[in-house]
């Protein structure tokens, strides 16, 4: 399946399952890893993982397209487009979309580890979102001095 066929497929599913046109772009993005697809809040475009299709076939891809189209239509209409929203759950069940995709970029604050510290004595690692004052805080296990790694 190529980009063109994907685009057509998304447009068609949008019309048949949602009764609404999909007027943005759907592309394959091979950089997606664990996620089957994603909806981009800013551009309104959809991206799909080509591996998903290669591994699980068309039926699974259709479910993911439906899932992403739920985000798409609800977001554009100003309704609850996030996974936990009632609007989303309801629409997803109605069209029979896949239950999961990864979090939408920009919709949630990242919980990435930004600072990593290592105890100089027992080498235990600590990952923190905020900086630790290493002159005040010591290793919780051995009371050793912490050193910043990242």
Give the nearer residue to Zn ion in terms of CB position, either 2 or 52. Answer: 52
Please say if 11 is a catalytic residue: no
Write down the catalytic residue from 68, 77, 90, 118.
68
Which of 45, 89, 41, 42 has the alpha carbon at shortest distance from 67?
Answer: 89
Asked whether position 61 contacts Zn ion by CB under 5 A, the answer is no
Binder of Zn ion out of 35, 121, 126, 145 (CB under 5 A): 121
Binder of Zn ion out of 32, 46, 65, 119 (CB under 5 A): 119
In angstroms, the CA 18 to CA 144 distance is: 60
In angstroms, the CA 41 to CA 46 distance is: 9
CB of 119 to Zn ion, least distance (A): 3
From 1-9, 84-92, 116-124, 125-133, span contacting Zn ion (CB under 5 A): 116-124
Binder of Zn ion out of 93, 107, 142, 150 (CB under 5 A): 142
In angstroms, the CA 69 to CA 76 distance is: 10
Asked whether position 101 contacts Zn ion by CB under 5 A, the answer is yes
Residues 6+ apart with CB under 8 A from 63: 96, 97, 98
Q: Do the beta carbons of residue 116 and residue 127 sit within 8 Å?
A: yes
Binding site for Zn ion (CB under 5 A): 101, 119, 121-122, 124, 139, 141-142, 144
């Amino acid at each position: 399946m190529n980009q063109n066929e994907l685009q057509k497929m998304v447009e068609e599913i949008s019309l048949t399952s949602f009764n609404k046109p999909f007027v943005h772009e759907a592309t394959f993005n091979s950089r997606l890893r664990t996620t089957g697809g994603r909806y981009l809040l800013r551009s309104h475009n959809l991206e799909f993982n080509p591996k998903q299709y290669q591994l699980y076939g068309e039926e699974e891809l259709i479910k993911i397209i439906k899932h992403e189209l739920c985000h798409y239509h609800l977001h554009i209409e100003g309704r609850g487009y996030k996974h936990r929203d009632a609007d989303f759950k309801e629409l997803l069940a109605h069209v029979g979309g896949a239950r999961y995709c990864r979090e939408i970029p920009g919709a949630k604050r990242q919980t990435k580890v930004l600072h990593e510290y290592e105890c100089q004595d027992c080498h235990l690692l600590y990952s923190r979102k905020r900086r630790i004052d290493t002159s005040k805080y010591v290793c919780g296990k051995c009371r050793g001095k912490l050193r910043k790694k990242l």
